[in-house]
Structure 1
């Protein structure tokens, strides 16, 4: 008997070390090998130094810092992603617990009155009956031995899914920080353009009044007055949508930081400067992007989980061995519960094997392998899309710097023209309308430069989002 138990234990141990299904060997190299040693669209304005995690701090804007900090702590999408992570961790704990034996205890008291049966008692009419009390305490346990590693593959898949959920949380954090920064830039852009537009309205109002005076004196035509009125109306019309967009960005910033619309108006209602990116932007290289971008990490963990699920499906091909044990004490009197000599003990190993399932298990294995192949294709696609995002952002940032430099020169020339017009006006060789017109041209050049600066910093934000930093 002892030799049989020893042989059974040895065979069980050897089988328990067997794990069916493919072992995960890491992410495929097909897409990552396509990444070069450096970004193709990087130029002299970028460096291969590692990117900064808290990249928004490089913009030097305390209000933006405070908004992103609050968003990372209170944004509802982040809170939902954190809840999904807790669910995934609990699911992993459940699968680990499923590998351990299951045990339960029970206590029973039963009273039965059985008419027509005689256990030595009868009523006054002579009919027989029986009363029976039953007391029992029991303990049972069951354990399925993971002979072929199906449960180990299940735990492996749950762990990979949990790690993928962690990466998805990081991806939400990256997106939220970038969205806050972009909405903040848009807000500052609209505020400055509204202020400049209001200045333009004031200047064009003066120009219209002067044109009407000239018309009254006969030195201007009705067409000149109509043109001045049309320009003023067009400028006013451009301000209204800017004001609506300003309010929308204020609302967006409030919601992104977990607050109701209007909550940030008091802090951000005053127009502020548009923060500019550093002169030299660290972007690392494609290998840094592949290692840190959260959606790539999430896709890789999904691939690992789907690989483990192949073994989980294949384990159903093989026999299953489980043990069940039962111990109970009791009797017809409550004092019998203390009689440890009278107890029932049952030990029952069970071997089951669904060897004839008409291809069901084979079909499930085929589904698992196809799901794994789909996950690999999605991983490759995620890598390529990430590289494209980074290259696109770098290209836009490069051209945005050129645009800002060009518009800065336009603004400087408009400023020079405005100074000369003012000098001629003061010298009496030019009209006030000509001086106001030159100042209005400078105002339009300032508005174009403001928009270009906001777009430049927005492209800087897009680079940081593409690189995938800012997660906690």
Structure 2
């Protein structure tokens, strides 16, 4: 038994040593990281002659937990749950696990394939076949006719007992990667894994932004509801005033009906606002993997819309490509497509495979441990494509076209990223200026309503002026509330465009470690 184990170990060491000696080249193009276009500084979004915005951009490095700039504990608590609870992030994590497993499957071709075998058979040969064979063989014997007849008679009665056949051993095969076909396949699979890492980060960023925007909308709707209820009180006070004046003969029933209509119009807005609040809470519940209304107790109490900070740290332009997962994902896909070209080129070259088998076979199990039971075979085989009907040429053309597509997609992704940033900065600055103007409008509308009410009480104006002033104030307050929520949401969109938010949940080192671990780290995967 010890001698047999020594033979097995020697064969494995020889096979591994041969792999170290055979170091082929890798055909096809080597991947080179593309250069990334970026401006020297952030584009100036303040037009000459317009008022400067209150919240300005700062070149300080942005906080990975960008939602902390709003200083809203509830928003922070929601954002911290997204990575673990959101269904889309969990699906992206499952796809990442698929890519990781695929890399291990592809990487297995770098190593010898060893299969242990063990077999037992009970074999019974046909007696008729044996008898016929013996009878036919008698004719060639140099014996007399009588002797031959006697031998034929005995051969006709011959039987063969069943046989027990025992065997165990190892079968091995290994393709020598002389042209780097397998290495290119592993390179492509590793790049695809990196693409999945970045895809998961991109999904996380999108959901972080969606939670923040829905949260801003929720707080905005709650503020809109508070405005409607406050205007309802004002309209009710106006109705009470007109009824009192009508009772004393100081006004007409027309003013009473107009005041009642205004009250009904304002009251009709309240159910719509309550519906929006419920839907927005449901949207946040779904984003966190919760059933409808699961967050009602947590979010139903109205809170102010989170304000924007005086300074917004956005970093420097050259860091955008490093932060944006979609750019990193597009680059990984370009890397995978480039390696795919190398695989297609290698298919034109011969494939050399080492095969071997070493078995111990015996009719009794106790004899398997002895040298005479040894049987083996080994040797190389080579295959060379001669005629494939244009399949290999078509495959190479396909891979080159896919590489060109990936390169174009990478360039488009980079420019799209800068478009997103530019649009987000423009929208953020513009909404701030709009918000300032709406704040002035609300102040003026409040003063106008106050004057209209005073003049109506004094009998200097009709009630129509009061109604117009109420409607103007309600519209101005609603627009200001919407602008406040939009301004905060635009800041969220800006941070989304800058690509931050994944550094804490899915840090870069963890992604690199995942790819390195899946690549095998120099060891044969099990």
Q: TM-score normalised to the size of structure 2?
A: 0.80
Aligned-pair distance for 1:126? Answer: 3.9
The answer to whether 1:110 aligns with 2:117 is no
Unaligned runs of 5+ in 1: 1-8
**What SS class does the counterpart of residue 104 from structure 1 fall into?**
strand
Q: CA deviation at 1:40?
A: 2.0
More deviation in 216-225 or 259-268? 216-225
Tell whether the 8 Å contact from 1:397 to 1:459 is kept in structure 2 after alignment. Answer: yes
Structure-1-length-normalised TM-score = 0.89
Task: Please give the alpha-carbon distance, in whole angstroms, between the structure 2 residues aligned to 1:10 and 1:194.
Answer: 77
- Are positions 1:247 and 2:282 aligned together? no
Is the 8 Å Cα contact of residues 15 and 148 (structure 1) preserved in structure 2?
no
Q: State the alpha-carbon separation in 2 of the partners of residues 51 and 292 from structure 1.
A: 11
Asked if 1:220 corresponds to 2:251, the answer is yes
1:432 to partner: Cα distance: 12
Q: CA deviation at 1:180?
A: 0.4
Asked if residue 179 in structure 1 is aligned to residue 179 in structure 2, the reply is no
The Cα shift of 1:437 comes to 8.0
Distance in 2 between residues matched to 1:268 and 1:133, nearest whole Å: 77
| Mapping 1:364-403, distance limit 5 Å | 364-403=395-434
Runs of 4+ in 1 over 6 A off after TM superposition: 9-15, 419-426, 428-440
Q: CA deviation at 1:276?
A: 1.1
Q: Please, which of 440, 459, 462 is the counterpart of residue 409 of structure 1?
A: 440
Question: Aligned residue for 1:37?
Answer: 40
Deviates more, 1:147-156 or 1:206-215: 206-215
Q: Is contact 1:286–1:387 with CA below 8 Å preserved after alignment?
A: no
CA contact 2:196–2:329 (8 Å) conserved in 1: yes
Distance 1:441 1:320 in 2: 82
> Could you tell me how far 1:220 is from its partner in structure 2?
3.1
Write the mapping of 1:59-70 to structure 2, written as runs, cut at 5 A. Answer: 59-70=70-81
**1:327 maps onto 2:334 in alignment:** no
1:358 lines up with 2:389 in the alignment: yes
Structure 2 residue 103 is the aligned partner of structure 1 residue 92: yes
Shift of residue 225 of structure 1? Answer: 3.4
On the 8 A contact 2:337/2:402 being kept in 1, the answer is yes
Instruction: Indicate if the aligned counterparts of 1:75 and 1:257 stay in contact, CA closer than 8 A.
Output: yes
Rounded Cα–Cα distance in structure 1 between residues aligned with 2:402 and 2:486? 41
Answer yes or no: is the 8 Å Cα contact 2:259–2:467 preserved in 1: no
* Residue 16 of structure 1: aligned partner: 23
Greater alpha carbon shift after TM alignment, 375-384 vs 314-323: 375-384
Larger Cα-atom Rg: 2
Task: Report the 3-state secondary structure (helix = DSSP H, G, I; strand = E; otherwise coil) of the residue aligned with 1:16.
Answer: coil
Q: Does 1:159 align with 2:190?
A: yes
Q: Answer yes or no: is 1:465 the counterpart of 2:484.
A: no
SS of 2:352's equivalent in the other structure is strand
Q: Does 1:234 align with 2:265?
A: yes
Q: Secondary structure at the match of 2:124?
A: strand
CA contact (8 A) 2:262 2:467 kept: no
Report SS of the residue matched to 1:317: coil
Measured after TM superposition, the shift of residue 354 of structure 1 is 1.0
Q: Partners of 2:456 and 2:391 in 1: how far apart? A: 93
**1:24–1:308: 8 Å Cα contact kept in structure 2?**
yes
Partner of residue 310, structure 1: 341
Residue 291 of structure 1: how far off its partner (Å): 1.7
Q: CA deviation at 1:440?
A: 7.2
Residue 75 (structure 1) shift: 0.7
RMSD of aligned Cα (Å): 3.0
**Cα offset for 1:76?**
0.9
CA distances 1:66-119 after superposition (whole Å, capped 9, x unpaired): 011111221111111111112211211222222100001111111122222269
CA distance in 2, matches of 1:162, 1:257: 26
Instruction: Give CA-to-partner distance per residue, 1:363-385, whole Å, 9 cap, x none.
Output: 10000000111111111111111
- Give yes or no for the alignment of 1:451 onto 2:482: yes
Q: Which residues of structure 2 form unaligned runs of 5+?
A: 1-15, 47-51, 135-152, 507-526
- CA–CA separation in structure 2 for the residues paired with 1:424 and 1:214: 14
SS of equivalent residue, structure 2 residue 161 = strand
2:242 is equivalent to residue 211 of structure 1:
yes
CA distance in 1, matches of 2:234, 2:410: 58
